[in-house]
Amino acid sequence: MNVIEVQGLTKRYGDKTVVDNVSLNVREGEISGFLGPNGSGKTTTIRMMCGLLTPDHGTGRVLGMDLRTQAARIKREVGYMTQRFSFYEDLTIEENLAFVARLYQLKPAREYVKTALDRLGLTQRRSQLAGRLSGGWKQRLALAASVMHKPRLLLLDEPTAGVDPKARREFWDEIHSFASDGMTVLVSTHYMDEAERCHRINYIFDGHLLTGGTVGEVVEQAGLTTIVLEGARTDEAIDRLTGMDGVDQVAPFGALLHVVGRDHVALQQSVTQVAADFDLVATKGTTSLEDVFIQLMKSPVAAET
């Protein structure tokens, strides 16, 4: 069963098309990653799916409700965590949650607040002012407020931006915990390690949806070959490799050089030649999600946007 089914979503502001003919499905109980660089249209798409924006074109259903005619109901039935912290900084954690509980008309509000505090590990900090929280604790407060009314669908817009690695991992542990309880999650991000924690991913660039599927499917569909070069002169090899037949990407990773291309034969010939010239060792590498997304941004579809 699909919790989100949208077809041809399009949103324009003046002569600027921010989201262009986006269609995607999100299955019940899965964590779906919505990936793309900043300004690619992720936030606008999410806002259309949660009823905050009306599409200029396109149709769809969220939790079985029509995007156009039942937007008000959708807004009440989903949890939405915005990219920017949007709570009252001069109120405590507990006071902020109590305010949200009243907005949703949750009764008894005190019990809902207590449950949210306990679930997100906020009980000991409930009297702390929101404005004095670190990025990680602000994130927990925002998540607690988003799930307090027990939504079936949780939409997260760049939830870990500006948060340290430990807080990011703890946040994702919470997301998987909610998903294991049956909640469906759509999370936008531009972090590749977070994308790999999703059951399925969709990649958007400049308003166009370029690919989707499991991480393995997306990597396989890209049809890329990656070769790793190692040796003392990898820095010198970069200029030589750039622009050679079959070479689409050249990227240093510490002392190693990752060379990526779609034409396996041409890539192998170019890398073999450079490896011999610079006394480097070439081994077959594993194509990463980052390699795929960099390649997608160079694709004809991306170039047209």
Q: What confidence tens digit (pLDDT) does each residue in 29-84 have?
A: 999 999 988 889 999 999 999 999 999 999 999 999 999 999 999 999 999 998 88
pLDDT for residue 297: 83
3 state SS of 92: strand
Rounded distance, CA 116 to CA 94, Å?
A: 10
254's tokens: 């510490």
Segments in 120-229 forming alpha helices (H): 135-147, 165-180, 192-195, 215-222
User: Can you tell me whether residue 259 is helix, strand or coil?
Assistant: strand
The structural domains of the chain, with segments of one domain joined by +, span: 2-213, 225-286
CATH class of 225-286: alpha beta
Q: Is 1 helix (H, G, I), strand (E, B) or coil?
A: coil
CATH superfamily of 2-213: P-loop containing nucleotide triphosphate hydrolases (3.40.50.300)
The Cα 111–Cα 284 span in angstroms is: 56
Residues 6+ away with beta carbon under 8 Å from 298: 248
Nearest to 229 by CA among 253, 205, 210: 253
- Six-digit token string for 88: 């009252």
**268, 246 in Cβ contact below 8 A?**
yes
Judged by DSSP in three states, 207 sits in coil
Please give the model's pTM, rounded to 2 decimal places: 0.89
Residues in Cβ contact with 108 at an 8 Å cutoff, skipping those fewer than 6 apart = none
DSSP string, 31-87: EEEEE--TTSSHHHHHHHHTTSS--SEEEEEETTEETTT-HHHHHHHEEEE-SS--S
- List the pLDDT tens digit at each of the 305 positions of the chain: 899 999 999 999 999 999 999 999 999 999 999 998 888 999 999 999 999 999 999 999 999 999 999 999 999 999 999 888 889 999 999 999 999 999 999 999 999 999 999 999 999 999 999 999 998 899 999 999 999 999 999 999 999 887 888 888 999 999 999 999 999 999 998 888 899 999 999 999 999 999 999 999 999 999 999 999 999 999 999 999 999 999 999 999 988 999 999 999 999 999 999 999 999 999 999 999 999 999 988 764 544 44
What is the rounded distance in angstroms from the CA atom of residue 51 to the CA atom of residue 36? 21
Identify whether the C-beta of residue 224 lies closer than 8 Å to the C-beta of residue 274: no
How many CB atoms are closer than 10 A to CB 292?
Answer: 23
* CB environment 84-98: b (16+ within 10 A), e (fewer): ebebeeeebbbbbbb
pLDDT at 140: 93
Give me the sheet containing 200-205, strands edge to edge. 78-81, 153-157, 184-189, 31-35, 200-205, 208-213
Neighbour count for residue 148 (Cβ, 10 Å): 23
Beta bridge partners of 256: 230, 253
pLDDT score recorded for residue 299: 63
> By the 8 A CB rule, do 158 and 189 touch?
yes
